[in-house]
Amino acid sequence: MGETLGVPLHVWDDKFLKHINKMFGDFIDFDADMARRRRLDDARIFVSTSKFGFIDIRVRINLMGPSCIISIIEDAGC
């Protein structure tokens, strides 16, 4: 089976993104572009976390069909 980089559109929804969020802390909100689906190449989620250090990882997610790899990067611009 192949794999893709990024989140396939058939699972790009609030439920999936909140599920990914649980790995890092408590969900607070989506940013405006994410909430209105203005961009589908980038999802920004506001999270309250107690983790130390900068988050910069890749996670393999098994979905229906090929697995996908998503990059999770902390945005320190807030």
Lowest mean pLDDT among 2-6, 17-21, 27-31, 73-77: 2-6
Contact in structure between 20 and 72 (CB atoms under 8 Å): yes
Residue 4: its pLDDT value, please?
A: 54
Q: How far apart are CA 23 and CA 31, in angstroms?
A: 19
Q: What is the pLDDT of residues 36-67, one digit of tens each?
A: 888 777 778 888 888 788 888 888 887 776 77
Model pTM above 0.75: no
- Residue 24 covered by a domain: yes
- Contact present, 33 and 57 (Cβ < 8 Å): no
Q: Which domain holds residue 35?
A: 3-73
Domains identified in the chain, total number: 1
List the alpha helices (DSSP H) in 2-73: 14-21, 32-35
Amino acid in position 16 = F
Stretch 25-43: mean pLDDT: 81
Give a yes or no: residue 33 inside a domain: yes
